Every structure is written in C-alpha cells, then in structure tokens.
Structure 1
Amino acid sequence: MRSIALYNLKGGVGKTAASVNLAYLAAAHGIPTLLWDLDPQGASSWYFHGEAEELKARKVFEGTSPAGRLVKPSPYKQLSLIPADLSYRYLDIILKKVEPPREALRRLLKPFSEQYALAVLDCPPSLSHLADNVFAAADRVLVPAVPTWLSLRALEQVQAYFRTEGFEPKKIRPFYSMADRRRSLHRELLENPPAAMARRYPAVIPYASAVERMGEHRAPLAAYAGSDEPALLAYAELWLELKRDLGL
C-alpha cells in the first residue's frame, strides 16, 4: 500500500478539497482507497457523510484497539473512510506518549495494506507530533500552495523543517491550488515559479465556484460537475501525475 498526505502549515489552501477529490478519483480508477481524516475539523469526513466514534479513536491511538474498527464505508465503491471529530485535537497529547514517537501512524497503517492499495491522509495545518508521524509514514507529502508569497513562505517553512528534523525532502510534492489567472501576482508566480516549487506537480487547481459547491453537495466534484468542468479536469491531471509518481 502506498500512502500520501495532503498537508500545509497554512490553512485555507484547498487541502481538504484535494484530499476528497484525489481519494475519489483513485477509487474510481479501481484502486482500493482509504481516506483517513486526521483534521479535528472533520471536513473530509463531512463530505463523505462519515461520523467518528470518539472513544474508539482514542483507544486506537493509545494502542489498545485495532485501527480497523474505525473504518466506515463511503457512498462510493472502492473508497473507505476513517472519519475525524473534535476529539482528534488530543492526538498530539496521545502521540507524545507513544514510543518510538514518530512511528505510531506508520504502525497503524500497516495492517490496511491487506485491503487497500492507497491511503490518503487529510492533515491539520500544524507542526506537531502528529505532523511528524505523517511525515514519517507518507510516501509523498502533497502541499497545495496558493500562488501568493505568504502561501509559498509556508511551503518553504515545511521544506526547512524536513531538512532540520531529518525527514526526506524528496517526499514533498507541492502543487498550485486555488489559482486565479485574473490576478497579476498569480499569473507571475505560475509562469515563474520560485525555487520552493521545483518538485511541483504541473497540474494547477483553479479557484472555482464548482469546488466551493462541494459543501452544498457534500460530494467530490465528479459526483455533480460536468466532465468539462476545468477544476475537475485539473484534479484528474493531478491524480494522473500522482499515480505515475507512485507507480500505481
């Protein structure tokens, strides 16, 4: 099983939208996929109509219950979900007590390889014990970056953290998200990407009302948007780039 994390130190960059759409597209291509929502806000869980059971989640991370008990079905074939809720805000405290400190998530993911070919981790925007576990467990860390200097600064901070803490920098794969070509700064950074975007996936996710309507439909784009919707085509391109990169 391969695993990817959607992560950014900065919020509001389209991380959850990418998690939901990539997980859906992977499953639609016949790849058994598990989406694990690690963000206490539970946005991915909400899109897929999933509800977590707080007591079970706590026992899993404390190592007293198998992680498989957290899995819920999604409305889509080949796609399962481990939902989050506000209790996940305590994960950092729990993981701090686990030994070795960065291996808990990798250990919890391992049994799922018998059933799934891809795990998608939707992560909260923080540098924490949970983030360390994600960075250690994921084969790729996808970082959506809005074409603005503040968003790119957050990407650079993540890259610097990887180098400082001994994580493999080559795991990081940024991509442009919520890009609006009507804005001169966005156009400039799309056409002349800075060094931080050197390992980026070429797909550019546009700022689009169709993506905002995911909340109205509580569904991935492909469930309601037309096949010619630019945002859906961009996510499909991103999925194909990821698929090639992971050898799926």
Structure 2
Amino acid sequence: MTEVIVHETTPVTLIGGGEVAKSDLADALSYAPFLVAADGGADQALRLGYEPRAVIGDFNSLSAATRSSLSDSILHHVPEQETTDFDKAVRAVTAPLILAVGFLGARVDHQLAALHVLAQPHDTPCILIGAHEVVVHVTAPLELELTPGDVVSLFPLAPVTGRSSGLEWPIEGLDLSPMSRIGTSNRATGAIRIEADGPGLLALLPRDCLPALIPAMRAGRSPSLQRD
C-alpha cells in the first residue's frame, strides 16, 4: 500500500505520460490547480509549460533531464513493480476528487491499465479526462444533467447489476458483464441517474459534461465499493 503523499482539501489534477492536449490540462487545472505527476507525466507537464508540485512513481519513465530539473523534495520514489504509476499516484493522493489527464489515448495497453485502476477501490474518486470522453467508476448514485441524445456508455469490468433513469435503454434487470452483456452506445433522454449494486461499472460520458460532472462526483462521493 502506497503511503499518502499529497493531502489536499480541494481537487487535484494528476497528469500521466500518455496523450494530453495543453487545453485539457489547462481545463483540469482551472478546477483543480494542485498538479501531481505520475512518473513520466512530469515530462508532459514541463513540455506543456507547467511544473508539478509532486511526482510519484517508480521513475522508470521519468527522463533524466526532467528529474534533474526538479527539486528532490517533490520527487517521491515508489519502487514496487506490482502496480502501475497511475495506481501508485491515486493511492498516494487524498483529496475530494482527482482529475486525471494523460492516461487515455496513445497505447491501448496503457488505456486498459488505466481503466483497470479506475475500477479498483480507492478513497479518492477520479475522473479520467480524454479528448472526447470522460470516464468514471460508478461507486455511488451518479446524477447528471445531460442533453437528450448524448451518448452514455456503460462498460462493466466485473459482473454487476444496477438501475438507471434518463437512459433510452434502462439497465434495471440486466446482468452486465465484460464476458456477455455490456452497455455501450446508450443515450440520454435528459437528466440521468445511474446506480450500481457493486464495483466494476464504468460510465463513459461526453467530454463537455465535465463542468457538471465535477460537482456531481463530489456530491455523490462515498466509500469505494468493496468486492466480496
């Protein structure tokens, strides 16, 4: 278990080493100005003109040039190899919410690993921000105002059931599973409410709903759903 390294009372932006546009990072920082980098995400931050206030990881991806340019006081080496740097960073941050950029896009294996981490039990809720979508783990009822026709994809990473309102195709009574029934390309009819009976249900939502999603995630914050 990674020790808590960053403790903040306001949301935190976490940057990874994947694809990230400067506009996406600036957008995240407008809501969560405390910037943390997961390993090679520090290179991305400096490239985009920002300096992280903490760097967390095994430092296998952190360039020598970036490492030497940063103060040792903000470099937090977590050498274990059982978890990804995204997982290490999320577990090391205590905050109302994490906005994570640079974990979607580029290599598919890295994206799958990020989704795996998102579905694990963590004390701090997290929003993965991509170029076109945002992704969250539904651990508490999620209520959100959307525009009719907005795509709402639900993807189970474990067998899970739940309930919904405001979706064209409700999920109540369905057994969702990555090996059988999934819920991609659903559509909102207006305001939505999604509730899961256990862990593992990811919601993929339109990128432009981020301003409304942030307070919704904070309002619905609850302890992570634990697997039996």
TM-score category (smaller protein): 0.3 to 0.5
Q: Which has the higher contact order (CA 8 A, sep 6+)?
A: 1
Structure with the bigger percentage of helix? 1
User: What TM-score do the two structures reach when normalised by structure 2?
Assistant: 0.37
User: What TM-score do the two structures reach when normalised by structure 1?
Assistant: 0.35
Structure with the bigger percentage of strand? 2
